[in-house]
Amino acid sequence: ERTQVAILGAGPAGLLLSHLLHQEGIDSVVVEARDQEYVQARVRAGVVEHGAADILRDAGVGEGLDRDGIPHEGIELRFDGESHRIPMSDLTGRHITVYGQQKVVRDLTERRLADGGKIRFACGPAQIHDVDGDEPSVTYTVDGRRHRIVADFVAGCDGAHGSGRTALGATPVEKVYPFAWLGILARAAPRIEELVYANHERGFALYSMRSAEVSRLYLQVPASDRLEDWPDERIWSELAVRFSLGGEPWEPTRGEIFERSIAPLHSYVGEPLQRGRLFLAGDAAHIVPPTGAKGMNLAIRDVSILAPALAAQLRHGYEHDLRSYSARTLDHVWRVEYFSWWMTTMLHRFGEDAFNRRVQIAQLRSVVGSRAHSTALAEAYVG
Ligand code: FAD
Ligand code: DHB
């Protein structure tokens, strides 16, 4: 099989890239390791920033987001038993939309399939070959039969554990945090109207939502913890303690927990994002800790730059934008790495360091007490 762009991974990055290329008249094939059901059931991020929502709308795939997404004009920071609102829209004129990554993936998949797009699901891990030559290719094996797709370019949108990273062979710059997030989805009406980011001496907690009936909650836990360590009762009572207000526990509305997972936190950038005819985008290229809600947004932004650059090269032989893709993308990526690291260090508990703890509280007080400092947070958060 032959195509112009072979894309690994049917996550937000790979699917949107394929769609944007299609709109530019460029042919692509998406090769996905897992089956369609698995990909669409995978629960992950939930915040779409202002600019990413515009990218989806401009690409004609913002209908679901505008219909079912929940616009948020502020967030709450909770620490020292006090609640402080950051009025993001007042400070920046922009807002975020709470809309699950699953829905973004579903919308993009449906649109690709309706447009006759080629998505090969359940291929197992695909491999990348010959990116330094003129005929790079992707191979995968299904039912003992080996398939090969020859392309002009290969896009590695296959996440943190894919083949794109290996084929790139870059030296990563990374940081591993000594904790993880336990995330749950519960059938419970959220007790909040805006997201609550809580810094408590027992650790970080986050109250988010998916709809009027479904709450999304996270707890900082030791990286070595397993789901068995967290029975339902322990999750709810720990959340109540970490969201305390005025010295009293403050309990989220309880409901059946129907999804749970533990994800480690780290920061990672593999530079540059190109090797020969291979380009990386999304989690394959970089990871941010989830505290700033940036992972999916970065993936969307990357491919909004990569798609027109690939199209300019393939349609007009114009190379400049493709050659500068890595540099242009990394400039923004590093600013988001900085924001995500800053939010993470300001909000999580790092061991027993008393100095660190006092500085965190002072930092939070300056953020909520200064319009300039609040605006800096809000600008980065809304994107
Ligand atoms: P992905 O969505 O990971 O898509 C990559 C795709 O490639 C997958 O479908 C995978 O199956 C496929 N694949 C992998 N290897 C191969 C291969 N060799 N061949 C073919 N296909 C392959 N961000 C937040 O902001 N907030 C959160 O709460 C949050 N929670 C997260 C929880 C978890 C467990 C994870 C892993 C990530 C989370 N993120 C979160 C980050 C966010 O979901 C990602 O940044 C986003 O999914 C990136 O999109 P992507 O398309 O680059 O990669
Ligand atoms: C959600 C996830 C995040 O990482 C975050 O910072 C805010 C919200 C969520 O899943 O809703």
Decide if pLDDT at 352 tops 90.
Answer: no
47 lines ligand 2 (CB under 6 A): yes
According to DSSP, the β-strands at 75-79 and 82-86 are antiparallel
Query: Residue whose CA is closest, atom 6 of ligand 2?
Result: 293
pLDDT of residue 372: 98
Q: What is the pLDDT of residues 202-233, one digit of tens each?
A: 999 999 999 999 999 999 999 999 999 999 99
Active site residue 318: no
Average pLDDT over residues 186-193: 97
pLDDT of residue 275: 97
According to DSSP, the β-strands at 196-200 and 75-79 are parallel
As a whole number of angstroms, the distance between CA 72 and CA 87 comes to: 10
What ranges do the domains of the chain cover?
2-71+98-174+267-342, 177-265+350-382
Decide if pLDDT at 89 tops 90.
Answer: yes
Gap from CA of 287 to ligand 1 centroid (Å):
10
**162 CA: nearest ligand 1 atom:** 15
Query: Residue whose CA is closest, atom 3 of ligand 2?
Result: 293
Which residue from 361, 102, 296, 72 is spatially nearest to 192, judged by alpha carbons?
72
As a whole number of angstroms, the distance between CA 141 and CA 161 comes to: 18
Average pLDDT over residues 144-163: 97
Active site residue 177: no
CATH classification (class only), 2-71+98-174+267-342: alpha beta
How many residues belong to the chain?
383
Gap from CA of 264 to ligand 1 centroid (Å):
13
Dihedral Cα 17, 23, 28, 30, nearest 10 deg? 40
Q: C-alpha angle with apex 173: 167 to 179, nearest 5 degrees?
A: 110
Count other Cβ atoms within 10 Å, centred on residue 275: 20
Same fold yes or no, 2-71+98-174+267-342 and 177-265+350-382: no
Which residue of the set 19, 22, 72, 200 is catalytic?
72
CA-CA-CA-CA torsion sign (171, 172, 176, 180)? negative
Partnered with residue 98 across adjacent β-strands are 47, 70
Active site residue 294: yes
Q: What is the pTM of this model?
A: 0.97
Decide if pLDDT at 360 tops 90.
Answer: yes
Q: What is the pLDDT of residues 300-316, one digit of tens each?
A: 999 999 999 999 999 99
Q: Which CATH number fits domain 177-265+350-382: 3.30.9.10, 3.30.420.40, 3.30.750.24, 3.30.70.3400?
A: 3.30.9.10
How large a percentage of the chain has pLDDT more than 90? Answer: 98
Average pLDDT over residues 138-161: 97
Q: Are 255 and 167 in contact (CB under 8 A)?
A: no
Which residue from 145, 152, 103 is spatially nearest to 120, judged by alpha carbons?
145
Partnered with residue 286 across adjacent β-strands are 269
Ligand 1 pocket (Cβ < 6 Å) reads: 8-14, 31-34, 39, 44-45, 101, 125-126, 157-159, 161-163, 261, 263, 282-283, 290, 293-296, 299
One DSSP character per residue, 340-374 reads HHHHHHHHS--TT-HHHHHHHHHHHHHHHH-HHHH
pLDDT of residue 131: 98
Which residue from 100, 4, 94 is spatially nearest to 296, judged by alpha carbons?
100
Nearest listed ligand to the Cα of residue 98: 2
In our burial notation (b when 16+ CB lie closer than 10 A, e otherwise), range 194-209 reads bbbbbbbeebbbbbbb
How large a percentage of the chain has pLDDT more than 70? Answer: 100
Q: What is the pLDDT of residues 95-131, one digit of tens each?
A: 999 999 999 999 999 999 999 999 999 999 999 999 9
Three-class SS of residue 55?
helix
